[in-house]
Amino acid sequence: MKDTLHGIFADTLNRLRDQGVLPANTTIDVRFEQPRQKDHGDLATNVALTLAKSAGMPPRELAHSITEALPDTPLIRKVEIAGPGFINIFVAPAAQFDVVKRIRREGEHYGRCGLGEGRRVLIEFVSANPTGPLHVGHGRGAAYGDTLGRVLTAAGYDVEREYYVNDSGRQMDILALSIWLRYLQACGQSLAFPNLAYQGDYIKQIAAQLRQSDGDAFIRTLDETHLKQLGADNETSLDALIKWMRDLLGNADYQTVLGTGRSRLLDDIRSDLEEFGVSFDRWLSEQSLRDSGALERTIKRLQQSGHTYEKDGALWFRSSDFGDEKDRVVVRESGMPTYFAPDIAYHLNKFDRGYDLMIDVLGADHHGYIPRVKASVQACGYESSRLHVKFVQFAVLYRGGKKISMSTRRGEFVTLRELREEVGADAARFFYVQRKPDQHLDFDLDLAKSQSNDNPVYYVQYAHARICSVFEQARDRGMEARVPDDAALEVLGEEHELDLAKLLTRYPDVVANAARNFDPHQIVYYLRELANGLHTYYNAHRFLESNIERRNARLALIDATRQVLFNGLSMIGVSSPSSM
């Protein structure tokens, strides 16, 4: 319907241009929106306002010329000029319900569009270090990234999801050390556990598993000086301990300890995300970039770009050439690359793979890091504008009105798994996606759990279940519960019915807009509106009435509503129960 109107207006404006009312170079771009107020019509456009200046006439006068030139169409009941020059269109009631047929025809495809034109998009998200289980902060990134993927897919993009595994470097050494020390403790050795090592109980579990699979293979004799360092609470001692461990274990045993921890934690992360409805097309390992030589090649490539120099024995990248506030070290004085180096390699790898669009979903604490990453890809000759970064703020949990304090370092944090077990995956996803990612999120556990009208998840799901229940009722009463395809929609026309149809019409725009702005939360707000539209209609009218024609028309309308509720809930990864 909107498309048809769009065509009518475009034709009309083109005609006016040919007639010389509008200048020859005018670009015709008509947009319609649903006005907030009903007396402003069903759709309104501000073309007369936007074109007034170039046409050299007052907006209202131009609006008058446009409406005069509009052809007769059964679609439009009435056209009015209002305010400074808005053209308000009152659509014929019968045309409003065409959307019902379209939804019933398109089913799960209703809401999709060709906005993306098949462009390839890579979304990298979560990418939590495999040094522990995912916590609720990662959960938000997971929900956002996955939902964004679903939205972009619906909008016609070719989406790939990727998890970048930071499985090399010092943090993995600390992981190995933590596991090994717990292992030694489990083998009966009495030793202190460093505060800077990973504290969580999961480390003990991995150590126990190691002992079960490899017995006493990793027991080593300890010496006094290192035993003392276990109690020292500083990074230098930790590095000394790591070196000590690697010497004592030898490379093969060290790799076994590390590899066991790495794979165990990644398995845990993977299954956690699967249960959360999040899956990835690719898990790309940092270590693999080192092993394949990509890291070395990247450093060479950067040097060849002419944007590096040596200072104090280190290799610097002149990122300030590209707007970064200062230059960055890529290779340390010691010859070891900084953490920045593999990240450059990873991003070049992404660009090399030829995506039209790349989206990094990162924790908000990484924002200062982006200018140097963009600088590095630019230095290597790529358009950094193809890389978009969305920052996700941390979620703060509340229970009983009180903030739950968390500390990753102390191993005191609520895991994503615990959250799912407590409130359920549906509520968790709904609450996460409800907010714009760059806003702080107050996550009220009591509210997410409550099976009451306070809980927005149930509110939307209830609307879906309610419709299913109506059809159930119809069957029980021996009515024909299948809606005939030729249901006479023209018998509809109650105000609530028109409101609902308008809401249904909006859905594809909502999806397109969410995709355009990378803002999945718009889906959530829309679903609440749609659920409200259904509930209101439900309370005002009976569907299962004796007039068969009207009953079927109403069933067709609410079945279309059910479909859109389902499509929208699926889009955010939440289930659509038929009863609750």
Site for RNA in 472-531 (CB under 7 A): 472-473, 513, 516-517, 519, 521-522, 525, 528, 531
543 binds RNA (CB under 7 A): yes
- Part of the chain binding RNA (CB under 7 A), chosen from 10-18, 204-212, 452-460, 481-489: 452-460
38 binds RNA (CB under 7 A): no
Sheet holding 76-82, edge to edge: 32-33, 43-45, 86-91, 76-82
Least distance in Å: CB of 396 to RNA?
A: 8
Beta bridge partners of 285: 165
- Part of the chain binding RNA (CB under 7 A), chosen from 2-10, 186-194, 336-344, 416-424: 336-344
Least distance in Å: CB of 354 to RNA?
A: 26
Binders in 394-433 for RNA, by CB under 7 A: none
Size of the site for RNA (CB under 7 A): 90
Instruction: State which residue, 210 or 359, has the beta carbon closest to RNA.
Output: 359
- Part of the chain binding RNA (CB under 7 A), chosen from 162-170, 201-209, 215-223, 237-245: 162-170
What are the tokens at 324?
Answer: 């970064």
Identify which of 312, 381, 435, 346 has the alpha carbon closest to the alpha carbon of residue 167. 346
Identify which of 162, 166, 160 has the alpha carbon closest to the alpha carbon of residue 342. 166
354, 453, 478, 546: which one contacts RNA (CB under 7 A)? 453
- Part of the chain binding RNA (CB under 7 A), chosen from 114-122, 213-221, 300-308, 362-370: 362-370
440 binds RNA (CB under 7 A): yes
Instruction: State which residue, 482 or 542, has the beta carbon closest to RNA.
Output: 542
105 binds RNA (CB under 7 A): no
Least distance in Å: CB of 138 to RNA?
A: 14
Instruction: State which residue, 179 or 441, has the beta carbon closest to RNA.
Output: 441
**What one-character-per-residue DSSP string does 516-563 give?**
HTT-THHHHHHHHHHHHHHHHHHHH--SS-S-HHHHHHHHHHHHHHHH
Rounded Cα distance, 156 and 516, in Å: 11
Instruction: State which residue, 189 or 493, has the beta carbon closest to RNA.
Output: 493
Instruction: State which residue, 378 or 522, has the beta carbon closest to RNA.
Output: 522
355 binds RNA (CB under 7 A): no
Burial category of 252 from C-beta neighbours within 10 Å (exposed 0-12, middle 13-18, buried 19 and up): exposed
What are the tokens at 242?
Answer: 């790591």
- Part of the chain binding RNA (CB under 7 A), chosen from 274-282, 409-417, 420-428, 464-472: 464-472
C-beta separation of 10 from 30 below 8 A = yes
**How would you classify the pairing of strands 158-165 and 387-392?**
unpaired
As a whole number of Å, the CA-based R_g of the chain is 30
Rounded Cα distance, 500 and 485, in Å: 19
280 binds RNA (CB under 7 A): no
Least distance in Å: CB of 86 to RNA?
A: 3
208 binds RNA (CB under 7 A): no
**How would you classify the pairing of strands 357-363 and 120-124?**
parallel
Rounded Cα distance, 484 and 481, in Å: 9
219, 314, 491, 498: which one contacts RNA (CB under 7 A)? 314
Can you state the angle between helices 456-476 and 521-540, rounded to 10 degrees? 40
Burial category of 267 from C-beta neighbours within 10 Å (exposed 0-12, middle 13-18, buried 19 and up): exposed
